[in-house]
Amino acid sequence: MILSKIVNDTWLKEQLENKLENTVVVDVRFELNDPEAGRKAYLESHIPHAVYLDLNKDLSGKAEKHGGNHPLPDKDMFAAKIGNIGIDHDTAVVIYDQRNDMFAARLWWLLHYIGHDNVYLLDGGFERWVEQGHEVSSEIPTLSAKDFQPNFRKNQVADIDEVKEKLGNKSAVLIDSRSRDRYLGKTEPLYPKAGHIPGAKNYFWKNVLDENGNWKNDTDLQENFSSLSKEDEIIVSCGSGVSACPNVLALKKAGYKNVKLYPGSFSDWISYEKNEIEKKGE
């Protein structure tokens, strides 16, 4: 297994110059309050040779009554889509969003889930690339489709029944990756109910970034999660399974082995009327 890495703009520039034939760059810029903004930004300018994947259309399935606002896409359809943009198990994939948002980590997690680990996140995203004066393009690349054979890692996912069971017998730690105010129910801009799943511990996902908005190194990430035992089973949630993904990646980089994503997260939890909600701190 090749450990997913955080890379800088200089590394990517050299990669594009020397190893483009087996590298696919994916732009996943997105805005939750303007779902077409990311695609429009991509069409205007992007890192050369990058293809675009959309959070709602490509990285999520259709929202239903239960399952959360950004349920996982159909596994086989997603694997086929990955193959169609030129990715197989020998391909290095480099992902970027606007500036270390949560969307690049969502695609990283999906690729990890279907068994692909040769994946890199561009630290600083598109903004950093432009700030450093690197070339941009509006050309849409044509990539030869490949046959991606998925190897689904079912142990990377926890559904609502598993969350309930393991919280009930205290055999796992549940993390809520949203901001402190949303966790405490002081504000809730997206959902009809506010608060958090009872027993969840708050680790805001942006705390995996430093004061400049860059990814923290592995030592600092270990400090960020120092109150958690490496022996713990950790289930990571958020609002709808997107901002949890940076925390999943950060935990794995910090050396935690038993980490799962609850894809439905809070938006799935509150879709069941009988589920209780807390508004107090840990």
Q: What is the pLDDT of residue 279?
A: 94
- Least Cα distance to 73 among 83, 51, 58 occurs for 58
Q: Identify residue 79 by its one-letter amino acid code.
A: A
CATH of 157-269, one of 3.50.30.50, 2.40.50.100, 3.40.50.2300, 3.40.250.10: 3.40.250.10
Mean pLDDT value of segment 65-81 = 96
Q: What is the mean pLDDT of residues 200-225?
A: 97
Catalytic residue set: 238
Residues 123-147 have pLDDT tens digits of 999 999 999 999 999 999 998 999 9
Mean pLDDT over residues 32-39, rounded?
97
pLDDT in tens, 230-241: 999 999 999 999
pLDDT of residue 2: 39
Tokens linked to 231: 């022996």
| Per-residue pLDDT at 18 | 86
Q: Is the predicted pLDDT of residue 153 greater than 90, yes or no?
A: yes
Q: Are 48 and 136 in contact (CB under 8 A)?
A: yes
Q: What's the rounded Cα separation, in Å, for the pair 68 and 73?
A: 12
Instruction: Give pLDDT, residue 60.
Output: 98
Residues 170-177, mean pLDDT to the nearest whole number:
94
Residue 1 confidence class, pLDDT cut points 50, 70, 90 = very low
Mean pLDDT of 252-263: 96
Q: How high does pLDDT run on average in the chain?
A: 95
Cβ neighbours of 43 (radius 10 Å) = 11
- Write out the two tokens for 80: 């086929």
Contact status, residue 137 vs residue 130, Cβ threshold 8 Å: no
What average pLDDT score do residues 192-212 get? 97
Q: Above 60 in pLDDT, residue 79?
A: yes
pLDDT, one tens digit per residue, over 39-51 is 999 999 999 999 9
DSSP state of 207: G
pLDDT of residue 4: 58
Amino acid at 173: V
Q: Are 26 and 50 in contact (CB under 8 A)?
A: yes
Q: Which residues sit opposite 46 in a β-bridge?
A: 137
Q: Which fold has domain 5-131?
A: Oxidized Rhodanese; domain 1 (3.40.250)
Q: What is the pLDDT of residue 144?
A: 93
DSSP symbol at 100: S
> What pTM was computed for the model?
0.96
* CATH 3.40.250.10 domain position(s) in the chain: 5-131, 157-269
